[in-house]
Amino acid sequence: MADGSVDLSSPLAIHLVGIGGAGISAIGVILSTMGHRVTGVDVNETKAWPSLTSAGIDPRVVEAGDLFASAIDAGAELVAHSTAFPPTDADRELAVSKGVRIVDRAGILAAICSQRRTVAVSGTHGKTSTTAMLATLLAGVGADPSFLIGAVPPSLGAAARWGGPDGVFVVEADESDGSFLELGASTAVVTNIDEDHLGFWGDIEAIETAFDRFVAEATTSVVCVDDPGGSGLAEQRANRVAAGNDSVTVGEASEARYRVRDVVVDRLATTFELDVDGSSIGTVRIGTPGRHHARNAATAIAAAATTGVDPRAAADALAAYTGVARRFEVRGSAAGVTVVDDYAHNPGKVRALVSSAVEAGWGRVLVVFQPQRWTRTRDQWRDFGAALTGADLVAVTEVYGAGEPPVEGITGRLILAALLEKRPWASTAWTPTLDDAERWVLANVRPDDLVLTVGAGDVHVLAGRLVDALTARVAAGRPG
């Protein structure tokens, strides 16, 4: 948790620890644009370096033991750190001795939120896309928004921006560690309430309670109440939270205030009709596939309306939206095969992704799924298996640990076992390494197939390798 509130109304010298991470680097760009003097360090150079240098920040690489000590050399008044690099007692003692404050990511983000009317978008899946859609449409109608998104939308060209003083701040609010409760949002947006990050929350009841508080503490709120294809429990949770807080509701149900209907998914685009309080506002089109993206788009339109944007104008502006990095990101096409990469890493995300791919109209859908984290696999392997049943062919790799030590008895094979329990006739493969997965895809793929590489680990590397291998097939005269 943050060590007290931070006042950003006057320029400060701010040092960011873990500046190479997606979240902290985006915060750095915003702080620099606000007029603060920003320095920062990490233990490795990352893909964030170019955006940081473009913002006038000189990020440095230091040893892990020097992360916080480097703030003193930088002349910092305030240090903000990522969750990946918490300060030690010695780090805190040094900071106190030099009169330097330390806050965590949630603390500095809350301080930024306090400078603008904030629309915070959260949920266990869909929040990145919905945040990006909302920022895209607000920019499209000339509302000059500020925003912080967990990935880069091509429609905006950046993951973070500090806009004009009259615009709102649209922020992707992380529920994984409870930090979304610290942001002080004027408008709270919830895409869904499902099981994830149980290592932090413990159980789904605690997650629902947290989302209820998130919504209750905002002035206005928007809640998507749909969970098609799920058990129905997520819908019940969302409806309870919405009803208890007089939220604007979104979904395909007839009682939703923003009602989605007549969804059509065609390869890389989705269209749908949208009714607002019983009256049609016409057809909405977005450049990304999936029924769940139709709900995300309607949620973004509803959220924009809470800031004064006409829903029809919002819908028209959404036509510029074409997705975000690692969310149904088309990596290439060759030999009649389309390769798409996606960050989906919990059962709800995977289920929505596979459902979208199946309904989009390709001949077959092949999935290579890389589970991330041993503890998540331990807690949800049955749910992952069920989420993958819609695909035509499925390969599962070994777990990508993300720094966690292996858990005895836990392996990606469990997911295949759960899938086969649900669908004994399914075509599946155990491909523990990415090399194994590449060989499996190339042995099984055929023209008009869609290949999905799925997961939050390094499986995205496989997507590029597959495109290269399929392109080489064509060059060699072997298109099939």
Q: What is the pLDDT of residue 3?
A: 45
313 and 227 within one domain: yes
Q: Is residue 5 part of a domain?
A: no
**Same-domain status, 136 and 161:** yes
Q: What is residue 321's predicted lDDT score, i.e. its pLDDT? A: 93
Q: Is residue 343 part of a domain?
A: yes
Same domain, 392 and 440: yes
399 and 373 share a domain? yes
Last residue of a domain, one of 320, 355, 387: 320
How many residues comprise the chain? Answer: 480
CATH code, 232: 3.40.1190.10
Whole-Å CA distances, 29 to 23, 36, 106, 261, 444: 10, 10, 16, 39, 44
E strand or H helix at 49: helix 49-54
Q: What is the CATH number of the domain that holds 20?
A: 3.40.50.720
Number of domains in the chain: 3
Q: Is residue 480 part of a domain?
A: no
- In this structure, the answer to whether residues 181 and 265 fall within a common structural domain is yes
Is 335 in the same domain as 297? no
Task: Give pLDDT, residue 2.
Answer: 39
List residues bridging with 279 in a β-sheet: 276
* pTM for the model: 0.80
* 7 assigned to some structural domain: no
Residues 336 and 449 reside in one and the same domain: yes
Q: 124 and 75, same structural domain?
A: no
Residues 124, 387: Cα–Cα separation, whole Å = 15
Q: Over the stretch 434-453, which tens digit does the pLDDT of each residue have?
A: 999 999 999 999 999 999 99
At residue 138, what are phi and psi to the nearest 5 degrees? -65, -40
In a domain, 2, yes or no: no
* pLDDT at residue 270, rounded to an integer: 93
Task: Name the H helices within 55-114.
Answer: 70-73, 89-97, 105-113
Output the six-digit token pair for 103: 């806050």
CATH number at residue 458: 3.90.190.20
Q: Is residue 3 one of the residues assigned to a domain?
A: no
Q: Which pLDDT value is given to residue 202?
A: 87
- From 320, 354, 375, the end of a domain falls on 320
Instruction: Give me the domain span that covers residue 157.
Output: 116-320
What does the alpha-carbon distance between residue 433 and residue 43 come to, in Å, rounded to a whole number? 27
- Binned average pLDDT, 10 residues per bin, the chain of 480 residues: 72 96 92 96 92 93 94 95 93 94 94 96 90 96 95 88 95 88 94 83 91 96 81 84 96 94 90 97 92 94 97 96 84 94 90 88 95 95 96 97 92 97 96 98 96 95 96 81
CB pairs under 8 A, 24+ apart, for 462-467? 462/368, 462/434, 462/437, 462/438, 463/331, 463/332, 463/339, 463/340, 463/341, 464/331, 464/332, 465/434, 465/438, 466/331, 466/339, 466/438, 466/441, 466/442, 467/331, 467/332, 467/333, 467/334, 467/339
Q: Convert the pLDDT of each residue in 183-192 to its tens digit.
A: 999 999 999 9
Q: Which stretches within 276-412 are classed as H helix?
A: 291-305, 311-317, 347-359, 374-387
**Does residue 123 share a domain with residue 105?**
no
| Residues 291 and 339 occupy one common structural domain | no
Q: Please report whether residue 200 resides in a domain.
A: yes
User: Is residue 8 in some structural domain?
Assistant: no
How far does CA 13 lie from the centroid of its chain? Answer: 30
What is the per-residue DSSP string for 135-196?
HHHHHHTT---EEE-SS--TTTS-SEE---TTS-EEEEPP-TTSGGGGS--SEEEES-----
Q: Tokens for 279, please give them.
A: 């009256």
Q: What's the confidence (pLDDT) of residue 231?
A: 61
Alpha-carbon gap, residue 92 to 136, rounded angstroms = 40
- Is 170 in the same domain as 308? yes
170, 291: one domain = yes
Examine the fold and report which residue of 87, 110, 133 is the final residue of a domain before the chain moves on: 110
